[in-house]
Chains A and B, each alone.
Chain A
Amino acid sequence: MELVLAIGIGVLTGSGVWLLLRPRTFQVIIGLSLIGYGVNLFIFSMGRLRVNTPPVLQSGALVNPADYADPIPQALVLTAIVIGFATTALFLVVLLVSRGLTGSDHVDGREPN
């Protein structure tokens, strides 16, 4: 299982990096989203993979931490997802405004000579 997820993370990140280095703004925004998935999964996987042990307590008393998945990476990733959404939205609008102002969707705001 670990290997599958590791390869998945690698492919997401690699595809994202490729798009990040492309010249068109839309490519960059897709690339950033892909990197976002990869990184979120990566952080999440730092808590190790556990099946059927969500960090939702069964009863209030006497908690055995070994029964539950690590909640910290999950909390981190949860905020990361929301912030990722916000930055994607911001970047999208910036690229739209830049496209409107310059007439080009190249990342530098003008077509290469």
Chain B
Amino acid sequence: MTDDTALILMIVLPFAGSLAAIILPTNARNAAAILAGAVAFICLVLAVMFYPSVLDRGVVRSDIEWLPTLGLDFTLRMDGFAWLFAMLISGIGLLVVIYARYYMAPEDPVPRFFAFFLAFMGSILGVVISGNLILLVVFWELTSIFSFLLIGYWHHNASARDGARMALTITGIGGLGLLAGFLLIGHVIGSYDLDRVLASGDLIRSHDLYVPILVLVLLGALTKSAQFPFHFWLPNAMAAPTPVSAYLHSATMVKAGVFLLARLWPVLAGTYEWFWIVGFAGMMSFVLGAYNAIFQRDIKGLLACSTISHLGLITLLLSLGSPLGAVAAIFHMMNHATFKASLFMAAGIIDHETGTRDMQRLGGLFRFMPYTATLAMVASAAMAGIPLLNGFLSKEMFFAEAIETHADSILDTAAPYAAVLGSAFAVAYSVRFIHSVFFGSLPADLPREPHEPPFFMRFPIQLLVLACLLVGIVPGLTIGPFLHTAVTSLLGPATPQYSLAVWHGFTIPLFMSVLALAGGAILYLLLKDYLARCEDGPPYFRRLRSQRVFERVVVAVSWRGARFMESRLGTRRLQPQLRLLVVVAFIAAAWPLYRLGFDPGRLTVQGVDVTFAGIWAIGVVCALGAAWQAKFHRLFALILLGGAGLVTCITFDWFSAPDLALTQLLVEVVTTVLILLGLRWLPKRSADVTSGLATTGARLRRYRDLAMAVACGTGMTIIAYGVMTRTPPETIADFFLKKAYSEGGGKNVVNVILVDFRGFDTFGEITVLGIVALTVFALLRRFRPAPDNVESPEQQRVQGAFDEARPDREAGDTVSDYLLIPAVIMQWLFPVIIVFAAYLFMRGHDLPGGGFVAGIALAAAFILQYLAAGTRWVEDRLRVLPVNWIGFGLLLAALVGAGSWLFGYPFLTSYSRYVELPLIGSVPAATATLFDLGVFSLVLGATVLMLVALAHQSIRRLRASRIAAQGNEEIA
């Protein structure tokens, strides 16, 4: 297997496993655990296999182009530093899977848990081995989302939901900041590639945008690592199942923040701003986290606060800008992951076996679970920094760094004191944890009888504690080489000399360690009685809870703010929205004129054709009349609208656009018929009904709308006139004109553009047309008329009454006699129009015509038959299948387009030649004609479908009322 594939596999496998787990049955506990374990194990093996490649600053890359124009490639990149994290993630992942198998209750939907778990593992591996900043953010956000799902796994639990939401909100906001920061980095150096970013440190640090970049990236990193002032989400995330905490909140999720700080350390660190922001956040988190941890009652709460504190220590080390600090930081990342994961697992065991995690209720468990207790004690000792354990080593390095001077400031002066103070707190909470849980008297009211957990639940802890011990005793033989690989890959030539030895002689750091140990022990002794009965939370800071601030902000923004904005700015009424639209459109059009000036060209009445002006005088009257009458005289307004349409049509023909004139004319006919069919379902309206409406307010509104209408109309006149009186620039029109015949094989350039040059646009357009027709059809299938429209129209009632009054006439005679002569003519016209449509279609490529026009013409032929003889008469004699025609048209157009693939050309490449047909003569036979046939069929189908669906409503209504009448008779 190549390194390339292995890298991709490391990302793909967890996600594939996640998908597989989600389809397992809900109770497939073992299968899901085995699947997750296997995936974690394979990832671990893959990671191990990479070790030779990443030695001595080796880098493995895998590049897949994704969106190269945006600088976004799917680049995976593994170096020594990423390798160390990949090992940590897959190794601890495997242990947590084993642990979770025994921790999760049978009634929980365990496969879902492992599905989220694996997806999270894939995401965090992605963060670690991304070689492109944008890709990194994508994985980064994925970790936020899957952490949300994992924290909220027990979603029936309110605190789990709240904790999950808070974690997502905080880390999500941070992720957005990170994205913005990375975009700025990309802007500065012109690439998102990690290798190029790492090589551009000087450029970025000296750039004007350095501070914004720094702040945004830190926003991402500090929120993720739960650093002050964003630390509060982590204790709330403790509502998660304990395996989640063991994985996310010790080794992976929260480590992503400090991972990023270290990853970008060569690029961003070393400036005064970096030192201050990172250092301050780190120091505050370190001291306050440790202080808070002492006063937690919940074991997991204690561990969460301790995590904040330890991550603060790492952040503080990274802030110093010294290579030795970075070494210590990386070392502590590993150490913290091992002891904290094991402690979380131990806390889970205690919870599992006793039913509580409240340290005031627990005690004396050493007798019942000596093995677990011993393991927890060793891990706690590592957490407290006791010699011969791994925590001691990195803490010693931390002390050594704290006493050095890095940037002369208060922060630097305070560092050694803060270090000792925080470490003393760490000792105090570690002792408290051990003492209050495992020693003292056993309380009587425990929910369950405690006992040792199953072997495999303890097994992961044993391994981790063993690691703590080995690293603590013989660091050079265990972690040493791997740490060296990671450090050199990150720091390169700047890698300092460092020693991992346990004993450095009597040094100041050792003295500080002793001081912290003694101080912590004394502090615990002093606080012991208080801690046994105090309420939850630290004294003095109990009321100051960032969590509450967060909740207030959330409520203010998402509820009060939203409601305020909606009530002030929002409306559910259509008119204000349309008005806003008109205003925006007006400003958008007027703004450039205002800014760039406007030269109206020559104003001349010369050359105005009197006929043309007369036609437009009619057009103007029609438009104004339609606007005037549309409220009370719908039919009249519709006729006037048709008049305006005809004037438009004449204008097209006048100015050399025969195709448009033809299409406009036919569309006009069909539109008018359609609206006429609709008129019947609208409410009656007469002028006197609304006379009460003419209040002052209504009148003012009308004046305002009138002013807007006049402004828009005037604006359009000015712009149109301005453009028309200017000489046109060079356009691509020349290209189309020149190539229409030689390449498109047609003389009607408009048609060639539609079916050949821009065939794909037309394809999209007819698709839209088909969708609209089907939507109309679907809407009308469930159509229910308003009660006052159910009766027959007045005219039909009069005609019906006339028939009933005459004994020699049957009911319905008058209706069918109505317009008898025109009806006969219309029926006779049917074949004529069919031939006309065919003619329009055939000539389309060379002369005005084409599929659109022919389709609408034929649709008009159909609708004339409906008008002449009635729906039933037509449908008894003709098979009208508009839906099939739509399908056929779309399919034909698509097949013609795809046909060009067979010949190795792109979609919709056309081929043309002339064919001699007997009797008819020379006929153009371009594939574009076939495409046009598809257009024709679809337009015909869509138009007929819409018209017929609307026409059918009258029959449906009659049928419905007849059924209702029969029902009444039966009852009578």
- Contact between chains at A93 and B765 (CB < 8 Å): no
Q: Confirm or deny: B24 has a beta carbon within 8 angstroms of a beta carbon on chain A.
A: no
Please determine whether A13 and B716 come into contact, CB atoms closer than 8 angstroms: yes
Q: How far is the CA of A75 from the CA of B717 in the complex (A)?
A: 23
- Check if A1 sits within 8 Å of B608, measured CB to CB: yes
Complex: A75 Cα to B712 Cα, angstroms: 26
Q: Are B737 and A55 in contact (CB under 8 A)?
A: yes
Q: Are A18 and B723 in contact (CB under 8 A)?
A: no
Alpha-carbon distance between A65 and B608 when the two chains are bound, in angstroms: 26
* Contact A57 B740, CB 8 Å, known A9-B720, A68-B749, A105-B683: yes
Which residue from A15, A74, A96, A103 sits with its C-beta under 8 Å from B659?
Answer: A74
CB of B901 within 8 A of chain A? no
Does B950 touch A at the CB level, under 8 Å?
yes
Chain B 716-744 residues near chain A, CB threshold 8 A:
716-721, 723-725, 728, 731-734, 736-738, 740-742
A78 in complex: contacting residue of B609, B645, B852, CB < 8 Å: B852
Contact of A6 with B630 in the complex, beta carbons under 8 Å: no
Given A34-B641, A45-B724, A71-B736, the answer on whether A56 and B847 have CB atoms closer than 8 Å is: yes
- Cβ-defined contact, A97 with B783, below 8 A: yes
Known contacts A13-B712, A17-B709, A55-B737; A46/B786 CB under 8 A = no
How far apart are B115's CB and chain A's nearest CB, in angstroms? 42
Are A17's CB and B779's CB within 8 A? no
Contact of A3 among B608, B648, B737, B775 (CB under 8 A): B608
* 1/0 contact string of B661-697 vs chain A (CB within 8 Å): 0011001001100110010011100000000000000
Q: Is the C-beta of B627 less than 8 angstroms from some C-beta in chain A? A: yes
Q: What chain A residues lie within 8 Å of B762 (beta carbons)?
A: 79
Number of B positions contacting A (CB below 8 A): 116
Q: Complex: how many Å from CA A90 to CA B655?
A: 31
Once A72-B753, A82-B939, A89-B674 are accepted as A-B contacts, the answer to whether A15 and B626 lie under 8 Å apart by CB is yes
In this complex, what residue of B is CB-closest to A30?
B630
Indicate if the CB atoms of A21 and B714 lie closer than 8 Å: no
- Quick one: which of B607, B616, B667 contacts A7, CB cutoff 8 A? B616
What A residues does B619 contact at CB under 8 A? 8, 11-12
**Residue from A78, A83, A88 in contact with B750 in the complex, judged by beta carbons closer than 8 Å:** A78
In the bound complex, what is the Cα–Cα distance between A15 and B574 (angstroms)? 19
**CB distance A23 to B575 under 8 Å?**
yes
**Given A12-B644, A15-B626, A57-B749: A93 in contact with B712 (beta carbons within 8 A):** no
1/0 contact string of A66-103 vs chain B (CB within 8 Å): 00111110110111011111111110111111011101
Interchain CA distance A33-B648 in the complex, whole Å: 12
Pair A101/B714 contact, Cβ less than 8 Å: no
B953 nearest in chain A by CB position: A96
In the complex, which residue of chain B has the Cβ closest to the Cβ of A26? B634
CB-CB contacts below 8 Å: A40-72 with B? 40-42, 44-58, 60-61, 63, 65, 68-72
Q: Return the CB mask of B749-779 against A: 1 if under 8 Å, else 0.
A: 1100110001001100100110011011001
Compute how far the CA of A100 lies from the CA of B605 in the bound complex, rounded to whole angstroms. Answer: 51
- Residues of chain A lying within 8 A (CB to CB) of residue B786: 99-100, 103
- Closest B residue to A35 by beta carbon equals B712
A10: chain B residues within 8 A (beta carbon)? 713-718, 720
Residues of B close to A68: CB separation below 8 A = 656, 737, 749
B35: min CB distance to chain A, Å = 50
Residues of A near B71 (CB, < 8 A) are none
Q: Is B784 an interface residue (CB 8 A)?
A: yes
Closest beta carbon of chain A to B297's beta carbon, Å: 57
Tell me which residues from 445 to 486 in chain B have a Cβ below 8 Å from any Cβ of chain A: none
How far is A22 from B710 in the complex, measured between Cα atoms in Å?
Answer: 15
Taking a contact as CB atoms under 8 Å apart, the answer to whether A89 and B772 are in contact is: yes
A7 to B647 CA separation, bound complex (whole angstroms): 13
Inter-chain contact B720/A5, CB cutoff 8 Å: yes
Q: Which residues of B sit under 8 angstroms from A79, Cβ to Cβ?
A: 754, 761-762, 765
* A101 in contact with B620 (CB, 8 Å): no
Classify chain A's interface size: 35 or more
Q: Considering only CB atoms, which chain A residue lies closest to B629 in the complex?
A: A30
* Nearest residue, chain A, Cβ from B943: A85
Instruction: Tell me whether B663 and A82 are in contact (CB under 8 A).
Output: yes
Q: Which residues of B contact A50 (CB under 8 A)?
A: 655-656
On chain B, the residues within 8 Å of A89 by CB distance are 671, 674, 772-773, 776, 946
A82 CA to B716 CA in the complex, in Å? Answer: 23
CB distance B663 to A81 under 8 Å? Answer: yes
* Alpha-carbon distance A104/B738, docked complex (angstroms): 55
Instruction: Answer yes or no: B612 CB below 8 A from chain A CBs.
Output: yes
- With contacts A30-B638, A45-B720 taken as known, whether A55 is within 8 angstroms of B783 at the C-beta atoms is no
A57 adjacent to B659 (CB under 8 Å): no
B723 touches A107 (CB 8 A): no
A37 nearest in chain B by CB position: B648
Which B residues are in CB contact (< 8 Å) with A15? 623-624, 626-627, 709, 713
A70 CA / B846 CA spacing, docked (Å):
16
Closest-CB distance, B306 to chain A (whole angstroms):
59
Cα A76 to Cα B143 with chains together (Å):
47
Whole-angstrom distance between the alpha carbons of A26 and B684 in the complex?
A: 12
Contact A56 B630 (CB under 8 A): no
Partner of B721, one of A3, A17, A19, A51: A3
Tell me the nearest residue of chain A to B728, going by C-beta.
A48
Give chain A nearest CB distance to B9 CB in angstroms.
Answer: 49
Q: Specify which chain A residues have a CB less than 8 angstroms from the CB of B634 in the assembled complex.
A: 26
One of B605, B664, B728, B783 near A70 (C-beta < 8 A)? B728
Chain A residues contacting B946 (CB-CB under 8 Å) are: 89, 93
Contacts of A26 in B (CB 8 A): 630-631, 634, 637, 682
Tell me how far the C-beta of A85 lies from the nearest C-beta in chain B, rounded to whole angstroms.
Answer: 5
Is B708 at the interface (CB under 8 A from chain A)? Answer: yes
A83 to B663, CA, bound (A): 12
Q: In the complex, what residue of chain B is closest to A85 when comparing beta carbons? A: B667
Check B736 against A31 for contact (C-beta < 8 Å): no
B720–A60 touching, CB < 8 Å: no
Of all chain B residues, the one with the shortest Cβ separation from A25 is B682
The answer to whether B740 touches A44, judged by C-beta atoms less than 8 angstroms apart, is: no
- Are A53 and B656 touching (Cβ within 8 A)? yes
Closest CB in chain A relative to B756 CB, distance in Å: 11
Does chain A have a CB within 8 A of B155? Answer: no
**Chain B proximity of A3: nearest CB distance (Å):** 6
List B contacts of A65 (CB < 8 A).
733-734, 737-738
Chain B positions 877 through 904: 1 when the CB is less than 8 Å from some CB of chain A, otherwise 0: 0000000000000000000000000000
Given A55-B749, A60-B747, 16 other A-B residues pairs in contact with their CB atoms under 8 A: A4-B612, A6-B721, A9-B720, A18-B706, A19-B627, A20-B578, A37-B623, A53-B656, A60-B741, A69-B655, A69-B656, A82-B667, A83-B768, A90-B776, A96-B681, A97-B782
- Give 6 nearest A-B pairs by CB, closest first: A14-B713, A10-B717, A18-B709, A6-B721, A15-B627, A69-B656
Chain B residues within 8 Å of A, Cβ to Cβ: 572-575, 578-579, 582, 603-605, 607-609, 612-613, 616, 619-620, 623-624, 626-627, 630-631, 634, 637-638, 641, 644-645, 647-648, 651-652, 654-660, 663-664, 667, 670-671, 674-675, 678, 681-683, 705-706, 708-710, 712-721, 723-725, 728, 731-734, 736-738, 740-742, 747-750, 753-754, 758, 761-762, 765, 768-769, 772-773, 775-776, 779-780, 782-787, 789, 846-848, 852, 856, 939, 942-943, 946, 950
Selected A-B contacts with CB under 8 Å, 26 pairs:
A2-B721, A5-B616, A7-B717, A12-B648, A16-B627, A18-B627, A22-B630, A22-B705, A26-B634, A34-B627, A44-B660, A65-B737, A71-B737, A72-B733, A78-B659, A81-B660, A85-B671, A86-B772, A89-B776, A90-B772, A92-B950, A93-B780, A96-B682, A100-B783, A107-B573, A108-B574
